[in-house]
């Protein structure tokens, strides 16, 4: 846990362990065991050889540090893994050793291993996203009509509901969860092509062998090798990056609402979380910070993987290797973001009074559009807009309210006096009524997600 401390800081031990050297070597050994058993099932190698090979496919039997060190010289982590597996099998059965890795190539072992650990990582991400979705859907329903200030271009705009904001955060996250579930089976495939993707060594039994491996490893069968066909995995990676962006959007909004001057949201106090070494009064939004960091890094990781798609001929040089490094980093980042936000959601405190207070501090200026539309009925569009614009400036200058300045203007103008219903005008300034108008946003988003079963 001492290497790459910032990766550990921005993710979880579980996510990092999923792509650790030990996990990857074990996944490659799982491939070798499945390969041998499937070949024996179809009488391509002796059944005794398959049993001998599989009995040695346990990572604790090998020096993983040595394998990693040797991989730099060999140019592939699979080469020393297969070398030491063959040597271990030879100690007990020389004849069986020659069947180790039969008909496969290094990329077959590595790609399949990456799919094995990626499947585990996706399950972890799915669970964390599920926690976030449950929290946000609950908040959306609970605060369906809770007034909060809507902000556009970082400025106070109009009144919405906090439930509507939660539903807006929830929807893209839920869609990504659904999309990842749809894309995963297609992307998480066994790789088996042999030296140049033709499976020539395995002959007519090649497809049956590949099916057997897929069944044993619980991956999707690939009817042909995909050594340089990276489109399926890139679709999955792209959706992960999209999820990172949606998590980052949620995190950024929350962090802004947690600012001391805004204080509409906060986290429950937890010892050792969100503190400052110099300013003990601070409560830093740690969960949001981790997710924002992931959203910043995900596009670069995805960009590198997309750039690596143009792989040469039947096997790429350098680009496939670059993809592998960025692939694991993307999974680790996204899991870290989802876990941090799921924990944050569990500790989120909503200050409804502060939300209302921030609206009221705008002196009614959040109702300018509503006022203009109402006044236009009696005064005409141009006059109404001009009156509201002047009243807005006066409300700010006089530390007054928009309603008061509009009423003063109407009473001062002989042509307007008595024309406008002032009682109806004042009713337009209801914060609760404005928030209630946003409730449909909650209903619409939850209905859409229920239709695509994204809330399962």
Catalytic residue annotation:
276, 315
**Phi-psi group of 430: left, alpha or beta (phi > 0 → left; psi -120 to 50 → alpha; rest → beta):** beta
106's tokens = 């290094």
414's tokens = 């002989």
Phi, psi of 442 (to 5 degrees): -60, -50
Instruction: Report whether 104 contacts 35 (CB < 8 A).
Output: yes
Hey, which bits of 344-404 come out as E strands? 348-350
Which residue shows structure tokens 């491996």? 213
Which residue shows structure tokens 């409804």? 352
CA angle 171, 359, 257 (to 5 degrees): 50
Residue 279: CB atoms within 10 A of its CB come to: 8
441's tokens = 């946003």
Q: What is the 3-state secondary structure (H, E, C) of 4-73?
A: CHHHHHCCCHHHHHHCCHHHHHHHHHHHHHHHHHHHHHCCCCCHHHHHHHHHCCCHHHCCHHHHHHHHHH
Instruction: Report whether 431 contacts 159 (CB < 8 A).
Output: yes
Which residue shows structure tokens 């002989």? 414
Burial degree of 259 (CB within 10 A; 0-12, 13-18, 19+)? exposed
Q: Are strands 348-350 and 155-161 parallel, antiparallel or unpaired?
A: unpaired
Phi, psi of 62 (to 5 degrees): -125, 155
């Amino acid at each position: 846990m001492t290497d790459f401390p910032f990766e550990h800081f921005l993710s979880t031990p579980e996510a990092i362990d999923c792509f650790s050297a030990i996990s990857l070597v074990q996944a490659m050994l799982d491939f070798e065991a499945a390969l041998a058993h499937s070949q024996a099932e179809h009488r391509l190698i002796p059944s005794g050889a398959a049993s001998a090979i599989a009995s040695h496919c346990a990572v604790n039997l090998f020096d993983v540090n040595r394998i990693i060190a040797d991989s730099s010289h060999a140019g592939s982590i699979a080469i020393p893994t297969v070398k030491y597996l063959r040597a271990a099998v030879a100690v007990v059965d020389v004849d069986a050793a020659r069947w180790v890795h039969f008909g496969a190539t290094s990329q077959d072992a590595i790609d399949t291993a990456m799919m094995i650990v990626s499947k585990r990582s996706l399950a972890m991400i799915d669970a964390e996203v599920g926690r976030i979705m449950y929290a946000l859907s609950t908040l959306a329903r609970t605060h369906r009509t809770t007034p909060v200030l809507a902000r556009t271009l970082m400025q106070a705009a109009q009144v919405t509901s906090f439930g509507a904001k939660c539903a807006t955060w929830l929807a893209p996250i839920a869609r990504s969860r659904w999309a990842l579930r749809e894309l995963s089976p297609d992307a998480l495939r066994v790789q088996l092509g042999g030296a140049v993707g033709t499976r020539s060594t395995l002959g007519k039994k090649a497809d049956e062998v590949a099916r057997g491996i897929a069944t044993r490893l619980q991956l999707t069968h690939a009817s042909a090798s995909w050594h340089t066909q990276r489109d399926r995995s890139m679709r999955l990676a792209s959706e992960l990056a999209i999820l990172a962006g949606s998590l980052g959007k949620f995190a950024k909004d929350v962090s802004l609402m947690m600012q001391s001057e805004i204080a509409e949201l906060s986290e429950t106090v937890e010892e050792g979380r969100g503190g400052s070494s110099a300013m003990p009064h601070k409560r830093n939004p740690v969960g949001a910070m981790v997710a924002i960091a992931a959203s910043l890094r995900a596009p670069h990781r995805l960009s590198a993987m997309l750039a690596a798609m143009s792989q040469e001929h039947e096997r790429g040089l350098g680009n496939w290797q670059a993809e592998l490094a960025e692939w694991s980093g993307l999974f680790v980042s996204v899991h870290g973001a989802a876990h941090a936000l799921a924990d944050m959601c569990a500790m989120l405190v909503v200050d409804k009074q502060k939300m209302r207070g921030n609206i009221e501090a705008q002196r009614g200026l959040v109702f300018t559009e509503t006022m203009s539309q109402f006044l236009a009925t009696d005064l005409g569009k141009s006059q109404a807009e001009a009156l509201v614009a002047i009243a807005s400036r006066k409300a700010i200058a006089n530390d007054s309210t928009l309603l008061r300045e509009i009423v003063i203007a109407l009473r001062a103008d002989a042509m307007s006096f008595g024309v406008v219903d002032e009682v109806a005008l004042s009713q337009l300034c209801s914060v609760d009524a404005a928030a209630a108008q946003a409730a449909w946003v909650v209903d619409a988003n939850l209905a859409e997600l229920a239709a695509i079963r994204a809330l399962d």
